[in-house]
């Protein structure tokens, strides 16, 4: 079983090939440099960059897997793509590329939920999807666009227990970084600065800690911004490095504690002993450490190289669906070409 997959939901253009459980290739072009000067992803620029780069990631992924272009009938057994959630224009680029590849190879087309991809990415180890997730489990999907807790009962069987009511956790990292004059994407920068913090610093609020499994991160970001305004007046760029580090650590502590405690609470309430964490923010060392320190749970993360967006995780979702026989090739006539706001059921 050979699967070709595309990922174009946001600012990574990626194509991957899996043969059975083996990942043969996973080529990712990151648009970070393009968006950096705007301190965030500019949707129109993202769509154009996807269009420009998709032929290269495709030929790279196929070449590494020993598949020749132009694609011949039967060259692959299925073509998968991230159908949503994501930026509308960006999604259409992946959709059109996948549809073309499916047409040429005569293979069925499989539209995958990008967030499920972040969860299943936990199964990759040494280039193979062999570390199967054991269900049921509590899943935390924590990325630049989403922060959700799922009750995952099996492959493709997910119930949303809570989600952010405003900013996603990654978005909050990015916005706090921007307030501090740190480059985009802010998550890795904030983590780096937090590691340098020494001594006492501010303490920021932990919103929504009880009574709901929903998250709210915009208040935390505002608390940081008020703190900085009070401390520095107009320009945070003058903040001494030691202070900057303390603010980063205080923000990261608040975000991490919120994510870990709420996920653990949800897991306990559902009687679950297993937790899996996926998405860009899950590469954060403090978050991994805090989850690792939880007693009574087996916690899974994806390898750091699979935390951010990639097509390998999309190929794997398609593979699991094919294995389960839960697949009808109905997409070619589906009226919704892409699903920018695709919501998992609550």
SS (H, E, C) 60-115: HHHHHCCCCCCCCCCCCCEEEEEEECCCHHHHHHHHHHHHHHHHHHCCCEEEEEHH
CA 24-303-34 angle, to 5 degrees, is 80
Task: Determine which residue in the list 308, 320, 321, 338 makes contact with ligand KG4, applying CB under 6 A.
Answer: 308
Beta carbon of residue 113, minimum distance to Zn ion (angstroms, whole number): 11
Residue 82 binding ligand KG4, by CB under 6 A: no
CB 93 within 8 A of CB 53: no
Q: Identify residues 276-295 at the interface with ligand KG4 (CB under 6 A).
A: 279-281, 283-284
Phi then psi for residue 140, to 5 deg, are -110, 115
- C-beta closer to ligand KG4: residue 44 or 238: 44
CB 176 within 8 A of CB 186: yes
* Contact partner at residue 123 from ligand KG4, Zn ion, none, CB < 5 to 8 Å by partner kind: none
Residue 145 binding ligand KG4, by CB under 6 A: yes
Q: CA–CA separation, 182 vs 177, rounded Å? A: 5
Stretch that binds Zn ion, among 43-51, 132-140, 183-191, 303-311 (CB under 5 A): 303-311
Residue 143 binding ligand KG4, by CB under 6 A: yes
Read off the DSSP letter of residue 277. E
Q: Identify residues 191-250 at the interface with ligand KG4 (CB under 6 A).
A: 191
Strand pairing of 147-154 and 137-142? antiparallel
Residues in a beta bridge with 15: 6, 27
Binding mask 124-143 for Zn ion (x = CB under 5 A): -------------------x
Residue 170 binding ligand KG4, by CB under 6 A: yes
Beta carbon of residue 174, minimum distance to ligand KG4 (angstroms, whole number): 5
Q: Identify residues 177-196 at the interface with ligand KG4 (CB under 6 A).
A: 185-188, 191
Residue 173 binding ligand KG4, by CB under 6 A: yes
Point out which residues bind Zn ion (CB under 5 A): 143, 309
């Amino acid at each position: 079983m050979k699967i070709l997959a595309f990922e174009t939901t946001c600012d990574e253009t990626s194509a991957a090939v899996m043969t059975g459980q083996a990942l043969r290739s996973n080529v990712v072009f990151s648009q970070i440099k393009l968006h950096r000067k705007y301190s965030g992803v500019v949707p129109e620029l993202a769509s154009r960059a996807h269009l420009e780069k998709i032929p290269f990631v495709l030929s790279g992924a196929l070449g590494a897997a020993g598949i020749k272009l132009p694609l011949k009938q039967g060259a692959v057994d299925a073509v998968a793509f991230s159908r949503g959630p994501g930026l509308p224009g960006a999604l259409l680029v992946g959709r059109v590329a996948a549809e073309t590849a499916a047409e040429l190879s005569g293979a069925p087309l499989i539209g995958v939920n990008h967030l499920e991809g972040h969860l299943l990415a936990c199964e990759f180890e040494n280039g193979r999807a062999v570390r199967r997730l054991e269900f049921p489990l509590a899943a935390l999907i924590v990325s630049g666009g989403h922060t959700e807790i799922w009750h995952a009962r099996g492959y493709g069987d997910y119930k949303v227990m809570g989600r952010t009511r405003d900013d996603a956790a990654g978005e909050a990292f990015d916005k706090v970084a921007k307030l501090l004059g740190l480059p985009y994407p802010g998550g890795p920068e904030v983590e780096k600065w937090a590691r340098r913090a020494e001594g006492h610093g501010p303490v920021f609020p932990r919103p929504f800690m009880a009574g709901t499994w929903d998250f709210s991160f915009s208040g935390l970001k505002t608390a940081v911004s008020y703190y900085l305004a009070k401390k520095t007046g107009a320009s945070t760029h003058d903040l001494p490095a030691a202070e900057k580090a303390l603010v980063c650590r205080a923000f990261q502590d608040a975000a991490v504690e919120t994510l870990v405690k709420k996920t653990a609470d949800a897991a306990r309430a559902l009687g679950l002993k297993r937790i899996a964490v996926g998405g860009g923010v899950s590469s954060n060392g403090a978050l991994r450490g805090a989850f690792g320190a939880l007693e009574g749970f087996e916690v899974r993360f994806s390898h750091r190289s699979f935390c951010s967006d990639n097509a390998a995780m999309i190929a794997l979702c398609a593979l699991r669906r094919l294995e389960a026989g839960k697949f009808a090739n109905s997409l070619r006539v589906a009226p919704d070409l892409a699903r920018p706001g695709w919501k998992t059921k609550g």
